[in-house]
Amino acid sequence: MKVITTINEMQNEILKHKELGMSIGFVPTMGFLHEGHLTLISKARKENDVVVVSIFVNPLQFGPKEDFSTYPRDFDRDRALAEGEKVDYLFYPSVEEMYPREPSVKVMVQERTDVLCGKSRPGHFDGVATVITKLFHIMMPTRAYFGKKDAQQVAVIDGLISDFNFPVHLIPVDIVREKDGLAKSSRNVNLLAEEREQAPIIYKSLQTAKKAIDDGEINPAVLTTMIKELITSESNGEIDYVEILSYPFLKPLEKIEGSLIIAVAVKFSKVRLIDNIMIQID
């Protein structure tokens, strides 16, 4: 595995493989890798000739009061894990390498951002779309792998790829969970012990809502209230949102039908956790 820190070298390596007609699988991450990331990487490994993983904590997608500085980082550990997954290239640029000056162009996301994390994190998805546009131009991937844990991100990237005509296949990957159901996240290490014990209620509440739907509940308001009550009664977390929307267009639903997402964000003392389930009603 080769570790590359400059855009120029990364792009030149990719171009060599492209000239030979090789497929490129790309997994963008912010590092502090866990089994969720490794699942994306191993899927990329199976489906492509060349696998590139990027590790970049992108300042553009963090708000001024968010956790950019406390976001967990451990490059040596990440390098060993990536090597274990037979990654070909680990792209690890500095902030100065990615943004040597104030960008003269930024990507602004117009749709699918007035809900969920877009509402509570203004500018977040512009930061994501801007860095992914840069990374797509650097990696020229055949396939790009994104986790459904960040379901709104998948929806935004889906729009970015189709609106900007990137010749990239978007591959969404199922959420990987701890044994107790908590969605794996680099941020979980910043939960206090007591919060870590409470956090599985997030997924349990989503499963309870799913069961209610299976039993015939079709009113989204009843379901969101049910989820909110469960989370507030069994944790100290403060609910940021509980929303039920169509997927991938993220429009409000009057009743439970079609392809939809139930998504939750809960703030604990140092961490904000997100989770979701997607449901298809035929």
Binding site for ligand AMP (CB under 6 A): 29-30, 36-37, 39-40, 146-147, 149-150, 173, 175-176, 183-186
137 is catalytic: no
Nearest to 279 by CA among 228, 206, 180: 206
Cα→Cα distances 256→148, 174, 265, Å = 20, 22, 20
Q: Given 17, 34, 37, 169, which residue is catalytic?
A: 37
Q: Give the residue with the Cβ less far from ligand AMP, 145 or 256.
A: 145
The nearest distance, CB 225 to ligand AMP, in angstroms, is 27
Question: What is the number of other CB atoms lying within 10 angstroms of the CB of residue 261?
Answer: 23
Contact 90, 82 (CB under 8 A): yes
Q: Give the residue with the Cβ less far from ligand AMP, 149 or 272.
A: 149
The nearest distance, CB 238 to ligand AMP, in angstroms, is 21
Q: Give the residue with the Cβ less far from ligand AMP, 207 or 225.
A: 207
What CA–CA distance (Å, rounded) separates 192 from 267? 12
Q: Which residue is nearest to ligand AMP (CB)?
A: 147
What CA–CA distance (Å, rounded) separates 205 from 31? 29
Q: Give the residue with the Cβ less far from ligand AMP, 203 or 209.
A: 203
The nearest distance, CB 146 to ligand AMP, in angstroms, is 4
Nearest to 48 by CA among 69, 92, 17, 71: 17
The nearest distance, CB 147 to ligand AMP, in angstroms, is 2
Q: Can you read off the two tokens belonging to residue 87?
A: 């990654």
The values of phi and psi at residue 278, to 5°, are -110, 140
Residues involved in catalysis: 37
